[in-house]
Amino acid sequence: MKLSVALQKLNALDRRWIFIGVFVAVAVPFFIPVSFVAEPTPTTLTFDRALGEALNRNQPIVLDVDFGPQTMAEMEPLLQAVLHRVFQSKRPVILLTFMTESAAPLRTVLARMEQTYQLRYGQDYVFLGYASAYAYTMHGLGTSFGNYFHADDRGTPIEKLPLMKNVHSLRDVSAVVNIASNSFPKFWIQYAVTPFDIDFLAGTTAVQAAEYFPFLQTGQLKGLLGGGRAAAEYETLLLRSGVLTRRGDATRGLGSQSLALLVILAFIAIGNVGWLAARRAGRTS
Amino acid sequence: MKDSITYRLPFAVMLVLGVFMMVQYYIPASPVVSARDMLLQWKQPLNGFIILLAIGGVAAVHVRKVWKQQKRWGYSVVTLVSMFAMIAAGMVGGMEEGSVFSDWFKYLISPIEATMFSLLAFFVASAAFRAFRARSTAATILLVSAAVVMLALIPSVANHIPIIAQLSDFILKYPNTAAKRAILIGISLGAISVALKTIFGVDRTLLERSR
């Protein structure tokens, strides 16, 4: 009888216990390293294959980065993994953003990449900066870069950038990669990928990834990395292929993510036990 | 009133531009592409005006609140001071690395936004505790699917019990994709219908409401 009453109390567990549980699960791996290795799934392998094919075409790629501080913990490791893959292949990259908040974190990441790979600005990469009216600009880039980006992020006129000399529109790039925490990959597909037949890859948050599976099946999206777990898988893949020499932030974050998921699952189980006990007690009374 | 030129003109503009933007998708001829490019470029300065309108709107609402000392007017003061301080910092000192604007963005806005978003983990955990109950067959299917997908995200589980990873992959690729595609097609058909009604002036509520 006592056990039944105790179990019924679980049904209405104070949510502060849940908050404490999640906090401990997230915090512990920072002090006691928990090592996990994320094995690449077929989706991650497909992304790498598609990106590799685009890089082999000897044309620049466009990398559109659209995430702010809210999702930086999840998206920045993903961006870094993709940048390592691209810069290691020594293919030029044209970066741009449609979110004002993305420019500052992107500049910091690019400064690190410039040091690591001894990159020359204007030749190995350019950052065109922020553009407003994303859907219109995406559609317009199909025919012209110069009409929408008159100067780069540093104020240099676009025609003075050596990398942009032979790039007039999206037809002159091998692929567009969008690392975004919002719906921009969908806009790319609607306004540029389908009308201009462009190879398109995306990196999104884990929550959003489910939305893009239909586009992956139709081939409008050639590859998809969904969130921190996919970034960790990509780091494993890059580590094995020699692109990375040590594990990155996504793999380090797996400890917190995995323990938090286990704690949430445990609370869901506890909630169901409590609910069943309460239901049984209700029936007998 | 409905016969006046000021009432009819916006609908005429919507009709001409709306039909042109639909048709241009199917005509890649150079005059059409040039006209389309010109129209697309108009959107960028228009966006600037939209931002000005938004700033004006926010300022008007909060100035009124402060002036009338309405409930919680102190927060409106904070909003106004923050907004105009950020605008002034960007316009006077520039937005380059090391500027006041950049520092405020890095050390104030970024941590505040990150903190707000991080709280989601706690609320999601609490919501999952209350929502995922095996109350009915449908709820049980939802509970089991969520548990499988979550378990598959834990590397040690996915690596040692491959069936969990395969099951999660199946859930995401088939039932999830089927549902998402159905929703997507439904939304798209709805959007097409709303767009056509607006372009052809069938739905005039937008303009009439603002009068």
Q: What is the 3-state secondary structure (H, E, C) of B41-108?
A: HHHHHHHHHHHHHHHHHHHHHHHHHHHCCCCCHHHHHHHHHHHHHHHHHHHHHCCCCCCHHHHHHHHH
Residues A83 and A195 in one domain: yes
**Residue A258 C-alpha, separation from nearest chain B C-alpha, in angstroms:** 5
Q: Which residues of A touch B134 (CB under 8 A)?
A: 272, 275-276
Q: Let me know if residue A218 belongs to a domain.
A: yes
Which of B40, B153, B176 minimises the CB distance to A139?
B40
Q: Could you tell me the pLDDT band of residue A20, with boundaries at 50, 70 and 90? A: very high
Residue of B nearest to A134 (CA): B44
Q: How does pLDDT run across A21-42, given as a tens digit for each residue?
A: 999 999 999 888 777 889 999 9
pLDDT of residue A283: 67
- Nearest Cα of chain B lies from the Cα of A132 at a distance, in angstroms, of 6
- Which residues contact residue B144 at a Cβ distance below 8 angstroms, ignoring those fewer than 6 apart? none
- pLDDT tens digits, A80-114: 999 999 999 999 999 999 998 898 889 889 999 99
A118 shares a domain with A180? yes
> What CA–CA distance (Å, rounded) separates A197 from A193?
5
Residue B210 has pLDDT above 70, yes or no: no
Report how many domains make up chain A: 2
- pLDDT of B211 > 60? The answer is no
Q: In degrees rounded to 5, what are phi and psi of residue B200?
A: -90, 10
CA B37, B41, B42, B44 dihedral sign is positive
Q: Which pLDDT does position A181 carry in this prediction?
A: 95
* A53 and A150 co-located in one domain: yes
Do A41 and A233 form a contact (C-beta atoms < 8 A)?
A: yes
Q: What is the mean pLDDT of residues A247-259?
A: 90
Mutation site for B-interface testing, chosen from A268, A273, A279 by largest number of B Cβ within 10 Å: A268
Band (pLDDT 50/70/90 cuts) for residue B2 is low
B203 has a pLDDT exceeding 90: no
> Do A70 and A138 sit in the same domain of this protein?
yes
CA–CA dist A55, A49 (Å, integer):
10
Say what the pLDDT of residue B163 is.
94
**pLDDT for the residue B5:** 82
Task: Please state the separation of Cα B20 from the chain's center in Å.
Answer: 26
Question: Is residue A252 domain-resident?
Answer: no
The whole-angstrom separation of Cα B110 and Cα B106 is: 5
Looking at the structure, do residues A227 and A109 belong to the same domain, yes or no? Answer: yes
From chain A, the residues in CB contact with B128 under 8 A are 264, 267-268
Task: Give a yes or no: residue A12 inside a domain.
Answer: yes
Work out the mean pLDDT of chain A and round it to a whole number: 92
Determine the pLDDT at residue A104. Answer: 81
Q: Are the C-beta atoms of A131 and A142 separated by less than 8 Å?
A: no
Own/partner pairs, A27-34, CB within 8 angstroms, 24+ separation: A27/A256, A28/A255, A28/A259, A29/A255, A29/A256, A29/A259, A30/A256, A33/A255, A34/A255, A34/A258, A34/A259
Q: Mean of the per-residue pLDDT values for chain B?
A: 90
pLDDT in tens, B148-158: 999 999 988 98
Q: Taking the CB of residue B134, how many other CB atoms lie within 10 A of it?
A: 16
A209 plus A263 within the same structural domain: no
The residue of A11, A14, A15, A37 whose CB has the most chain B CBs within 10 angstroms, and thus the best one to mutate to test that interface, is A15
Q: Which of A49-58, A162-171, B41-50, B111-120 has the lowest mean pLDDT?
A: B41-50
Least confident of A190-204, B40-54, B158-172: B40-54
| Domain-embedded: residue A172 | yes
Write down the pLDDT at residue A1.
60
Which structural domain range is residue A269 located in?
A: 2-33+257-284
Q: What is the pLDDT of residue A285?
A: 53
Instruction: Indicate which CATH number applies to the domain containing A219.
Output: 3.40.50
**Domain contains A132:** yes
Candidates B43, B130, B165; nearest CB to A271: B130
As a whole number, mean pLDDT of residues B92-103 equals: 86
Q: Which site among B17, B27, B39, B40 would you substitute to test the A interface, given the most A Cβ atoms closer than 10 Å to its Cβ?
A: B40
Structure pTM?
Answer: 0.88
Question: From the list A37, A104, A263, which residue is nearest B155 (CB)?
Answer: A37
Contact A268 B129 (CB under 8 A): yes
pLDDT value of residue B94: 85
Does A182 lie in the same domain as A50? yes
CA distance B36 to A121: 32
Within-domain flag for A75: yes
- Please tell me whether residues A241 and A270 are part of one structural domain: no
Q: Which residues pair with A121 in a beta bridge?
A: A125
Enumerate the residues of chain A whose CB falls inside 8 A of the CB of residue B133: 271-272, 275
CB contact under 8 A, B48 and A132: yes
Q: What is the maximum span of chain B, computed from C-alpha positions, in angstroms?
A: 73
- Taking an 8 Å cut-off on Cβ atoms, the answer to whether A19 and B102 are in contact is no
pLDDT of A284: 59
The pLDDT tens digits of the residues spanning B59-80 come to: 999 999 999 999 999 999 999 9
CB contact under 8 A, A264 and B158: no
Do A92 and A195 lie in one domain? The reply is: yes
Q: Is-contact A201 A221, C-beta < 8 A?
A: yes
Spell out which residues of chain B touch residue A257, defining contact as CB-CB under 8 Å: 153
Separation in Å, CA of A178 to nearest CA in chain B: 20
Closest chain A residue to the Cα of B171, Cα to Cα: A210
What is residue A54's predicted lDDT score, i.e. its pLDDT?
A: 96
- In this prediction, residue B209 has a pLDDT band, given cuts at 50, 70 and 90, of low
Q: Is residue A148 part of a domain?
A: yes
In a shared domain, residues A24 and A51: no
Residues A16 and A150 in one domain: no
Judge if A165 and A188 occupy the same domain: yes
